[in-house]
Homo-oligomer: A and B are copies of this chain.
Amino acid sequence: MNIDMINAAALRLAGHARRTPLLSSPFLDEIAGRRVFVKPECLQHTGSFKFRGGWSAVSALPADIRARGVIAFSSGNHAQGVALAAREHAIPAVIIMPADAPRMKIDNTRALGAEVVLYDRAGEDRDALGARLSAERGLTLIKPFDDPEVIAGQGTTGLEIAEDAAALGITNADVIVCCGGGGLTSGIALALESRAPGLRARPAEPEGFDDVARSLTSGRIERNARTSGSLCDAIITPQPGDLTFPILKRLCGPGLVVTEDEALHAMCLAFARLKIVVEPGGAVALAAALFRPDEVTGDAVIAVASGGNVDADVFTRALARFQI
């Protein structure tokens, strides 16, 4: 896992993934007490950075293997990213989703051309179901984060951050990344190590689901007590990955932890000041940039808004509460 793989992924993604800009607002700078930039991956195809990793992994497969199709487990953003990447490669995609996943996410994944297979979280073994389908049809499993080509795809986000930061004259900044399994954070960290050594990647997580922050502190993989029950569902995973954690440990600064309320508040500020739609889990990094200024060490801060797939009712309830 190295920068060459990220560069190769960037070549494969060129003309397919969207090149997202860096956004900013003087109003956010004032709250944070320093310059704040936001990388809006909510504007990426399918509404999250997951399309990058999905495309990278699908496009890296040998043509004959790829033609048989891919399979993924996901209740959300990874599902849609893989589904669209498969459709654009004109190959089949099977997405195994929990039957109680949000209806809209199931519908969207189907609308993107994937075959959605629902399973009962309580009574069925997801992994066994996936293994059977893979074997029967010769499908290749695309993991959500612990896969080198997925990490390489997410890392292209870091190449763009490095390029845009250089153009803005930013040479010393914290790059805060919403962190679940660590695919995006580790990919960005590798890209920055090579292209922008004055920029440090730092994971951000919601309170109660801070497995990565705790793992970085203890030096070994720690688990969350719970893996559900947060509005930040998009970035909730049991623990950092076996591939991602060594990269995080070697390259990333201390983790940042924010409350769910702070994430919702950041979501509302992104609405009012940046005119982007960010989901709660995707707003965790911006929340850390705005509300943990004493823990940020850079002259500037770059927060990745990792996704925007939020239901209208969650969004409107937050707007009513934090209206500015």
**Chain A residues with a Cβ under 8 A of chain B:** 15, 18-21, 23, 26-27, 40, 42-43, 47, 84, 108, 111-112, 167, 268, 271-272, 274-278, 308, 312-313, 315-316, 319-320, 323-324
> Contact at A275–B42, with CB atoms within 8 Å?
yes
> Contact at A316–B320, with CB atoms within 8 Å?
yes
Pick from B19, B111, B276, B278: contact of A43, CB under 8 Å: B276
Show 14 residue pairs from A and B whose CB-CB distance is below 8 angstroms, ordered by the A residue: A18-B21, A40-B43, A40-B275, A42-B275, A43-B274, A43-B276, A47-B275, A271-B277, A272-B312, A275-B276, A275-B308, A312-B319, A316-B316, A316-B320
> Contact at B21–A20, with CB atoms within 8 Å?
yes
What separation, in Å, do the CA atoms of A38 and B232 have in the docked complex? 28
> Contact at A111–B27, with CB atoms within 8 Å?
yes
Q: Name, among A108, A111, A275, A323, the residue most crowded by chain B CB atoms within 10 Å (CB to CB).
A: A275
What residues of B have a CB within 8 angstroms of the CB of A315 in the complex? Answer: 271, 319
The residue on B at minimum CB distance from A84 is B26
The residue on B at minimum CB distance from A47 is B275
Q: Name, among A18, A274, A316, A324, the residue most crowded by chain B CB atoms within 10 Å (CB to CB).
A: A316
What residues of B have a CB within 8 angstroms of the CB of A277 in the complex? Answer: 271, 275-277
What residues of B have a CB within 8 angstroms of the CB of A111 in the complex? Answer: 26-27
What residues of B have a CB within 8 angstroms of the CB of A316 in the complex? Answer: 316, 319-320
Shortest CB-to-CB span from A87 to chain B, Å, is 8
What residues of B have a CB within 8 angstroms of the CB of A15 in the complex? Answer: 167
> Contact at B27–A18, with CB atoms within 8 Å?
no
> Contact at A26–B312, with CB atoms within 8 Å?
no
What separation, in Å, do the CA atoms of A156 and B235 have in the docked complex? 38
The residue on B at minimum CB distance from A322 is B312
What residues of B have a CB within 8 angstroms of the CB of A167 in the complex? Answer: 15
Shortest CB-to-CB span from A170 to chain B, Å, is 13
Shortest CB-to-CB span from A244 to chain B, Å, is 26
Pick from B43, B84, B108, B323: contact of A275, CB under 8 Å: B43
The residue on B at minimum CB distance from A320 is B316
The residue on B at minimum CB distance from A111 is B27
The residue on B at minimum CB distance from A26 is B112
What residues of B have a CB within 8 angstroms of the CB of A312 in the complex? Answer: 268, 271-272, 319-320, 323-324
Known: A271-B277, A275-B277. 20 other contacts (CB 8 A): A20-B21, A21-B21, A21-B43, A26-B112, A40-B275, A43-B274, A43-B275, A47-B275, A271-B312, A271-B315, A275-B276, A275-B278, A276-B276, A312-B319, A312-B320, A312-B323, A312-B324, A315-B319, A316-B316, A316-B319
What separation, in Å, do the CA atoms of A63 and B189 have in the docked complex? 44
Q: Name, among A27, A268, A271, A278, the residue most crowded by chain B CB atoms within 10 Å (CB to CB).
A: A271
Shortest CB-to-CB span from A19 to chain B, Å, is 6
What separation, in Å, do the CA atoms of A111 and B40 have in the docked complex? 24
The residue on B at minimum CB distance from A312 is B319
What residues of B have a CB within 8 angstroms of the CB of A26 in the complex? Answer: 84, 111-112
Shortest CB-to-CB span from A296 to chain B, Å, is 23
